[in-house]
Amino acid sequence: VAGAASDAGGAALDIVSVTKRFGAFVAVDDLTLSVPPGTFFALLGPSGCGKTTTLRMVAGLERPSAGTVRLAGQDVTEVPAHRRPVNTVFQSYALFPHLSVLENVAFGLRRRRARHVRALALEALELVELAHLAQRRPAQLSGGQQQRVALARAVVNRPALLLLDEPLGALDLRLRRQMQLELKAIQAEVGITFVHVTHDQEEAMTMADTVAVMNHGRVEQLGTPADLYEHPRTPFVANFLGQSNLVPGTVVETLDAGRTLGVDVGGVRVQVPAARSGAGTGRVLVGVRPEKVRIIGATDVPREADNVLGPGTVVDTSFAGVSTQYQVDVDGLGVLGVFEQNVGGRAVHAPGARVRLAWDAPHTFAFDGDEQIRAG
Ligand code: ATP
């Protein structure tokens, strides 16, 4: 529709100020998102944060209480589901048991009276590497193979947008990991925009180009997986994407023309890059990922750019082959976690050892306030 195009630079999907209420409950809260074409986009968040509701509004299965959904610039808020150029793959993939794999994939095309139905269906099956099983019934396939048939069925008519709602949720862990890589490869090959809903941070990080972390019906942070991991803007994001140590502190000075914050943590000064921090002044939470932290001896000299906390006592070690997870009770601060690679294949710090914790200051992040983490 001329004139209806958005100014969002040709986004495949725009969600603009969308709210969804169920009675008095706000499931999706004034959400705005834009997904560029060809992106593998993940909506990541804990159970109940509004991911599925958002997806259902994009599919047309749920009507927004307020706001606009646009596909390729066109307002589809009032367009019924079957008229939207969108397919959805659910966790329960519901293949027709009495039809062959090929006929399952061809089904939607036949209904549309498309031409070359058989060739197109076979091509979609080749994409998911199942063409050799085209004549089988779904019951004669493994769970992972059935999921791939569902995917072939969803891409066969080349939708502008493919929505995936926990599509791998029913698979065991090993198969899940394998399918994650396959899905990513398939998306790159077909070039269709994928919007993938999951509560599994590893899944989102493995597959997506862009991840929106949702909490309480809102996007807390949006970015590339590496960006979110390295630069979390809220304690929720820091904890939802991997583990982090968070300790309360107070901003006492700014250094380097404002590029660095000097933060007092239990009487010790640490430095936090201002650019990696959602913090300004006053009370803050200072964070660092466990794998960034090194354990050094109580009298070892740290590196020049290090932040150092301690002394403290190693209270627990848990060996995991290539690495060991240590719990260190830092005097006056509490227990912090450290992941260290095992040099020579064994853990080197025994429980009871008096140690300090050191890490490269640029890996530190900080958030305003000292409230505890709210999740879910
Ligand atoms: P999950 O990962 O568990 O599927 P989610 O992030 O997808 O969670 P939604 O299914 O979008 O969450 O649900 C968001 C909130 O809205 C939940 O608290 C849910 O109970 C509520 N909700 C969803 N659908 C309805 C409905 N039809 N009526 C009332 N409340 C609903």
Ligand 1 mean position, distance from CA 162 (Å): 21
51 within ligand 1 shell (Cβ under 6 A): yes
Query: For 9-25, what is each residue's pLDDT tens digit?
Result: 689 999 999 999 999 99
Ligand 1 mean position, distance from CA 217 (Å): 10
Low-confidence winner among 31-35, 178-182, 228-232, 274-278 (lowest mean pLDDT): 274-278
* Atom 21 (ligand 1) nearest CA: 27
Query: For 313-370, what is each residue's pLDDT tens digit?
Result: 999 999 888 889 999 999 999 999 999 988 776 768 899 999 999 999 999 999 887 6
47 within ligand 1 shell (Cβ under 6 A): yes
Reported CATH class of domain 1-85+159-230 = alpha beta
341 within ligand 1 shell (Cβ under 6 A): no
Which amino acid does the sequence have at 220?
A: E
Query: For 298-312, what is each residue's pLDDT tens digit?
Result: 889 999 999 999 999
Residue 137 Rama label (left phi>0; alpha psi -120 to 50; beta): beta
> CA–CA separation, 10 vs 160, rounded Å?
13
> CA–CA separation, 111 vs 134, rounded Å?
19
Ligand 1 mean position, distance from CA 27 (Å): 7
Nearest to 207 by CA among 88, 45, 42: 42
Domain ranges of the chain: 1-85+159-230, 98-150, 244-368
| Residues in contact with 210: Cβ distance below 8 Å, sequence separation at least 6, in sequence order | 35, 39, 40, 41, 42, 222, 223, 224
108 within ligand 1 shell (Cβ under 6 A): no
DSSP character string of 219-256 = EEEEE-HHHHHHS-SSHHHHHHSS--EEEEEEEEEEEG
Q: If pLDDT is split at 50, 70 and 90, which confidence band does 169 have?
A: confident
Reply yes or no: is the peptide bond before residue 311 cis, omega within 30 of 0: yes
Same fold, 1-85+159-230 and 244-368: no
CATH of domain 244-368: 2.40.50.140
Instruction: Classify the complex by whether its ipTM is higher than 0.90, answering yes or no.
Output: yes
Please state the pTM of the whole predicted model. 0.86
Ligand 1 mean position, distance from CA 19 (Å): 13
**Residues present in the chain in total:** 376
